[in-house]
Amino acid sequence: MHDRTRPNSDRPASSQGLSSQEARRRYALYGPNQLPESTGESPLLIFLHQFNSPFIYVLLAAALVSLILNQQLNAVFILFVLLINASIGTVQEYSAQRAAVALNKMVPQYASVLRDGITQKVEAAELVPGDIVFLITGDRVAADLRLIECHDLLVDESLLTGESLAASKQSGVCSGDDSPLAERKDCAFAGTIVTHGRALGEVIATGVRSEIGQIAAEVTESDHIKPPLLKRIERFTLRISYGILVVIALLFVITLLRGADLQEVFLLGVALAVSAIPEGLPAAITVALAIGMRRMARASVIVRRLIAVESLGSCTYIASDKTGTLTVNEMTVKLIILPDERRYSVSGEGLDMHGELHCLSGGERALLPPDADKDLANLVRCGMLANEASLVLHQGEWVASGDGVDLAFLVLSSKLGFDHQQVEHLYPELQRIPYESENAFSASLNRVEGKLIIHVKGSAEKVLMMCRRDPVRPEPWEVRIEHQMLAMARKGFRVLACASGEVDVGNTDLLAVLKGLHFLGLIGMIDPLRPEAYAAVEQCRLSNIDVAMITGDHPQTALALAQELNIADAGSVPVTGDDVRRAIERDETLQEQGKPSTAMQTLVNSSRVFARIEPSQKLQIVQQLIRNGHFVAVTGDGVNDAPALRHAHVGIAMGKRGTDVARESAELIITDDNFASIVQGIKQGRLVYSNIRKVIFLLISTGAAEITLFILSVVFMLPIPLFPIQLLWLNLVTNGIQDVALAFEPEEGDELRRPPRPPKETIFNRLMLERVFVNAVVMGGLAFTVFAWQLHNGVAVETARNMTLLLMVLFENVHVLNSRSETKSIFKQNFFGNPFLLFGMLAAQSVHIAALYTPGLSDVLQVEPVTLESWSTSLSVALVLIVVDELHKLYWEKRKPLFTQCRTGDDRPPTG
Ligand code: ADP
Ligand code: MG
């Protein structure tokens, strides 16, 4: 179901568009309608970027110092490890970039074209010169077009001309091909945006031959923006680096004052710099985000900006569209009420043309022949004419294109036996007001038996207003019809009304004739709720995420559906667009009087159902929600939704229904338009965040453990417990294999059951700090004890270092197991849940053991083989870490209620 126009009836009937055969021929001739792709950063550039980091500077300095101290081996090893590190980073970043490009391709741009006489949706890349293309509000024009027909077309051409005001277009005015773009009123250019109206145009240039193709180089350049999370973490590591430099300086002074050898002290500084700096962090985080991106794509959520992976996870409020997101967007007319309150029911579902009409008067259902009721026929004809959809039989199949409401009217007319193409032909359209959601109606001026008749269909209130004769006192029939309308809306029907009226010849201002019309009747449509939506809303309730519905539909219709879904309860009162307008006015006057303005704040908190909301008001609601402290995700599909999408913390556009503009304004695109996918996306977002925390915990706590080990050694005046080269080995090789594996951790299962994390919470919250402290002190303390104990027993210092290094490798092996969950005991986790991690542990052990036996390497690392006995003794020491961390987890679980502050939710209306 795509919001597209039908071919207008006053276009020459001969125009069938290209035949698909001809289109194929031209495609072979002209090639795809595409601009050369932006290739992104080259691998070489990415590689060079890897060295542009403060950690790397410190390590390079360390290599330099080693050289000066005549420790060539050390220097070479540092450089070697840096190269490996940079290569891994390059591969990861490059593949993340590729993945992002591939994901963008999953949401191709479509164009609505006329081919073989029918309107169809094709990928914009398949357009060829000569194609007849339809434009509608919200489209990004797919190729250069000469306009054949225009209805109030406004196009934003700022991309080409720099002019920010939308240009008005007209067909038929002749402008030379060499006049400036801004003056070519009869053309719409590729890349520009339709902000209003409808049009029909013929493709005159595609791909690189289009105007934008000529300047493509400037436009396709995509800017490379780092996700804020990454920036935050980089800033944080920078701070750590400074801190470490201070510690190093202190130790340096202390040891020098004690009269230690200068070379030894330098080595110590290098070693500390190496151990404490979390070199692997940026790479691991990029990987975690990229994995999240891929997992989300599998859940039909396409991430346009990497940051959204994380931000979707912290969302506390989802403001969702109704039509198409919570419902299936397949509207079927079920009930008709004529002005004299004769009622008809209609059977059949969706686009199925089979259905019967029953008269419901007198409690009796009578099957009705289509032509039995003239009033009914008038009503249906009106809905058929004020209509932009197309529904044609093509090779034995119905091909539908257009808005769901419009299609429902066409299906209804078929059920009554009308041939709508014949009707359109019989009553030619002279002018029209296309449906725009801020108007909530559409109209068409047709010639009917020599007279000019305007046909209107739209929201019942709007149409009734157009029929009203006495502006103050409604007539009795109006009151009755309003009752009927409300009764239908309360049952969840989307209620539309139709009206028509004669227009004087010569009266061309269509808006001016929309009064004193003749009321034709009410139409009740059902758009079923998506079956998955129930569970998804329940899921949100369990995760403490508020769900609200924002719709242009009638408050009672919205309420009925919201109640059905448990978004609202029986006592809920919907907030309407009028309420919003009044609250904002009230706040303005209060502000002028210098009083606190809280009308809007209270209003937005008072309900989860927002109805008859104009697109521009959506932004106001979102802004207020943000001011109220929510982390807001908003869905949208129309052009007018773009500001709300941009302002929300997470803008979510609909892949199928959404306009190009909405999709370009959003961070996320839901390819199946389904509310349930958003919830899946949130789960993945939370998972990414918790995996990032796991990686950070692992890296920071081992770094801190190494520092602890060194500080203790200095305090107790022992020699340096590990050489810089050994620390590098530990951090970059054995540990490096494992930290990235943590980014692949599967869900712990309760991702959606936790409350959203407070939007302002930092990664280093209390839990993280405690765990880092406990684990680092135990790891560092035990390693020091083993080192000191050996020296005490007269073991050679080289051997003691060898054992300490082995112990650290083993520590890190068990430590990754601790890192898999912040709160869950490792005995409650699926040990085989993350094959990467198991592989990482095995690999780390094997690599280390191999190093002990590899001649050249063991010399560089100054290690030697150990007996199985000392290996298992070390392992049992390492296992102590698990016991300690398990105890801390238990302890945390006990105290948890003190620290996890749930939002009290006083402002939250009870749901369900
Ligand atoms: P939603 O938030 O459900 O998408 P819309 O903004 O699309 O709501 O529609 C608002 C109102 O406009 C509807 O309640 C209906 O009365 C009217 N309307 C919707 N579609 C059409 C259409 N194609 N033609 C005329 N009126 C329409
Ligand atoms: Mg709509």
Residue 597: partners with Cβ closer than 8 Å, 6 or more residues away: 586, 587, 588, 590, 591
Q: Is the pLDDT of residue 905 over 70?
A: no
Closest CA to 487 of 534, 524, 433: 524
Q: What is the pLDDT of residues 217-261, one digit of tens each?
A: 444 433 444 555 666 676 777 777 787 778 778 877 887 887 777
**Ligand 1 pocket, residue 406 CB under 6 Å:** yes
Q: Is 458 in the pocket of ligand 1 (CB under 6 A)?
A: yes
**359 C-alpha to ligand 1 centroid (Å):** 27
Check residue 492 and give its pLDDT. 95
DSSP state of 300: T
Q: Is 459 in the pocket of ligand 1 (CB under 6 A)?
A: yes
**Rounded mean pLDDT of 375-401?**
90
Say what the pLDDT of residue 642 is: 86
Of 37-51, 442-456, 800-814, give the lowest mean pLDDT range. Answer: 37-51
Q: What would the DSSP string read from start to end of 602-668?
A: HHHHT-SEEES--HHHHHHHHHHHHHTT--EEEEE-SGGGHHHHHHSSEEEEETTT--HHHHHH-SE
Atom 19 (ligand 1): residue with closest C-alpha?
440
Say yes or no: CB of residue 553 within 6 Å of ligand 1: yes
**Residue in 4, 437, 621 to alter for ligand 1 test, most ligand atoms within 8 A of Cβ:** 437
Q: Residue 453 Cα, ligand 2 centroid: separation in angstroms?
A: 27
CA of residue 304 to ligand 2 center, whole Å: 24
Distance 17 CA to ligand 2 centre (A): 29
In this predicted structure, what is the pLDDT of residue 11?
41
Highest mean pLDDT among 121-125, 139-143, 546-550, 867-871 belongs to 546-550
Which structure tokens are listed for 858? 């063991």
- Residues annotated as part of the active site: 321
Q: Which of 2, 322, 327, 405 to mutate to test the pocket of ligand 1 (most atoms within 8 A of CB)?
A: 405
Ligand 1 atom nearest to 615, measured from its CA:
6
User: For 120-138, what is each residue's pLDDT tens digit?
Assistant: 889 999 999 999 999 998 8
**Rounded (to 5) percent helix, strand, coil in the chain:** 50, 15, 35
How many angstroms from the chain centroid is the CA of residue 523?
35
- CB of 618 shorter than 6 A to ligand 1: no
**Ligand 1 in reach of 457 Cβ (< 6 A):** yes
At residue 6, does pLDDT exceed 60? no
Ligand 1 binding pocket mutation candidate from 407, 432, 441, 641 (most atoms within 8 A of CB) = 441
Encoding tokens for residue 473? 């006192």
Contact 213, 207 (CB under 8 A): yes
Atom of ligand 1 nearest to the CA of 403: 23
For residue 623, the model assigns a pLDDT of 94
Task: Calculate mean pLDDT across residues 512-522.
Answer: 92
Mean pLDDT, all residues of the chain: 85
pLDDT of the residue at 227: 53
Which protein residue's CA is at the shortest distance from atom 6 of ligand 1?
552
Tell me which residue of 525, 495, 483, 522 sits closest to 336, measured CA to CA: 522
* Average pLDDT of the segment spanning 870-894: 93
Instruction: Return all residues near 110 (Cβ < 8 A) that are at least 6 apart.
Output: 2, 121, 122, 123, 124
**Sign of the four-CA dihedral 254, 258, 259, 260:** negative
Judging by beta carbons within 10 Å of its beta carbon (0-12, 13-18, 19+), is residue 494 exposed, middle or buried? buried
| pLDDT single digits (tens) 408-424 | 999 999 988 888 888 98
In percent, how much of the chain has pLDDT > 70?
90
pLDDT band at 897 (very low <50, low <70, confident <90, very high): low
**Closest by Cα among 548, 562, 552, 328 to 436:** 552
Q: How far is residue 336 from each of residues 356, 359, 891, measured CA to CA in Å?
A: 13, 9, 65
Closest CA to 160 of 192, 208, 196, 206: 192
Nearest CA to ligand 1 atom 12: 440
Name residue 857's amino acid: L
Instruction: Write the pLDDT tens digit of every residue in 694-729.
Output: 988 998 899 899 989 988 988 898 888 988 788 878
Cα separation, 821 vs 691, in Å, equals 9
Q: What are phi and psi of 761, to 5 degrees?
A: -60, 135
d(CA 133, CA 833): 51
Q: What are the start-end ranges of the H helices in 390-511?
A: 404-415, 420-426, 460-467, 476-490
The predicted pLDDT at position 42 comes to 81
Give me the pLDDT at residue 902, please.
41
Sign of CA dihedral 849, 855, 859, 861: negative
- Secondary structure element (H or E) that encloses residue 114, with its range: strand 110-115
- Reply yes or no on whether the pLDDT at 758 is more than 50: yes
Angle of CA points 331, 336, 342, to nearest 5°: 170
**Cα torsion at 598, 599, 602, 608 (round to 10°)?**
-140
| Ligand 1 contacts CB of residue 323 (under 6 A) | yes
pLDDT higher than threshold 50 for residue 904 = no
The β-bridge partners of 452 are: 447
What tokens appear for 755 in the block?
Answer: 């409350």
Q: Beta strand pairing status for 301-303 and 668-670?
A: antiparallel
552 lines ligand 1 (CB under 6 A): yes
Q: Among residues 720, 709, 879, which one has the least CA distance to residue 780?
A: 709
Compute the average pLDDT of residues 785-798: 94
* Highest mean pLDDT out of 212-216, 481-485, 837-841: 481-485
User: What pLDDT, in 10s, does the model give residues 583-612?
Assistant: 999 999 999 999 888 999 999 999 999 999
Q: Which ligand is nearest to the CA of 657?
A: 2
- How much is the pLDDT for 309? 78
250-267 burial by CB neighbour count: b if 16+ within 10 A, else e? ebbeebeeeebeeeebbb
Query: For residue range 657-703, what is the model confidence (pLDDT) as tens digits?
Result: 888 888 888 888 998 889 999 988 888 888 988 898 898 899 889 98
815 pocket-lining for ligand 1 (C-beta < 6 Å): no
8 A C-beta contact, residue 892 and residue 546? no
Give residue 208's pLDDT: 85
How buried is 296 (Cβ within 10 angstroms: 0-12 exposed, 13-18 middle, 19+ buried)?
buried
pLDDT the model gives residue 369: 58
Ligand 1, atom 9, residue with closest C-alpha: 552
From the CA of 637, how far away is ligand 2's center (Å)? 8
Residues 156 and 193: their CA atoms lie apart, in Å, by 5
pLDDT greater at residue 549 or residue 354: 549
Quick check: helix, strand or coil at residue 201? strand
Is 9's pLDDT higher than 60?
no
- The string of pLDDT tens digits covering residues 172-200 is 877 666 777 778 889 999 988 898 899 99
Cα 5 to ligand 1 centroid, rounded to whole Å: 15
